[in-house]
């Protein structure tokens, strides 16, 4: 299994954020100075959708997915019970390396993407029959927040890369931080 390795060589706590294409893989709590953390590649995610209809919140059952998938959220009538049922139907994505989100209901639908029970990203679909897409390419993008400063993002296609936060010596008052890939 592939894993990105994160190292903090600064004197401050570093909070890393990792994306794979447009998909958020991890928003990690602070990594202590001098610490290293291995982040295995997420292979499966859970998708849950929610919407509001006539003042009531409807939430779908969680769906486990592991790649390019199309999600269609819809409200269906249940005449026998005189209620509505909110469901998400999945089909293969029409584009490789892409998650596609759609809805047919009146109100906006929020699709929550979780990994191992931890929310990593919300996708909001405001309009019916209009797709919102999230790319899941093999390019990883990483940035960190260190001492309140957000670093520039670095990218790599190596799923086993090491990303190290380092302090740069400059004339800036609070210092300058950068990420180095090896």
Give the SS3 label for residue 160. coil
At 64-98, the pLDDT tens digits run: 998 899 999 999 998 898 888 999 999 999 998 99
- Cα gap 105→103, rounded to integer Å: 6
Q: How many CB atoms lie within 10 A of CB 143?
A: 18
**Cβ within 8 Å of residue 169, ≥6 positions away:** none
In the chain, count H helices and then E strands: 0, 18
At 115-158, the pLDDT tens digits run: 888 888 999 999 998 999 999 888 999 999 999 999 999 999 99
pLDDT band at residue 172 under the 50/70/90 scheme: low
Q: Which residue has the higher pLDDT, 42 or 51?
A: 51
- Cα gap 167→177, rounded to integer Å: 5
Considering only CA atoms, which of 62, 57, 131, 60 is closest in space to residue 100? 131
What's the pTM value of the predicted model, to 2 decimals? 0.80
Report CA-CA distances (Å) from 34 to 10, 54, 164.
Answer: 7, 53, 10
| Ordered domains of the chain (ranges, CATH) | 3-42+138-181 (2.60.40), 45-135 (no CATH)
Give the SS3 label for residue 93. coil
Contact 92, 68 (CB under 8 A): yes
**Cβ within 8 Å of residue 83, ≥6 positions away:** none
Facing residues of 88 across strands? 73
């Amino acid at each position: 299994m592939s894993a990105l390795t994160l190292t903090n060589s600064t004197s401050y706590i570093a909070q890393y954020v990792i994306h794979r294409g447009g998909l958020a893989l991890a928003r990690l709590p602070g990594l202590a100075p001098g610490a290293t953390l291995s982040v295995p590649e997420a292979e499966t995610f859970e998708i849950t959708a929610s919407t509001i209809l006539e003042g009531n919140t409807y939430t779908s059952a969680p769906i486990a997915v592991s790649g390019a998938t199309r999600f269609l959220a819809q409200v269906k009538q249940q005449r026998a019970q005189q209620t509505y049922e909110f469901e998400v139907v999945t089909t293969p994505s029409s584009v490789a390396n892409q998650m596609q989100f759609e809805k047919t209901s009146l109100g906006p639908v929020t699709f929550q993407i979780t990994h191992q029970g931890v929310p990593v990203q919300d996708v909001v679909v405001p309009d019916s029959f209009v797709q919102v897409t999230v790319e899941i390419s093999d390019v990883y993008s990483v940035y960190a927040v260190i001492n309140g400063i957000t670093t520039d993002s670095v990218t790599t296609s190596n799923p086993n890369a090491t990303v190290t936060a380092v302090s740069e010596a400059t004339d800036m008052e609070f210092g300058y931080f950068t990420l180095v890939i090896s």
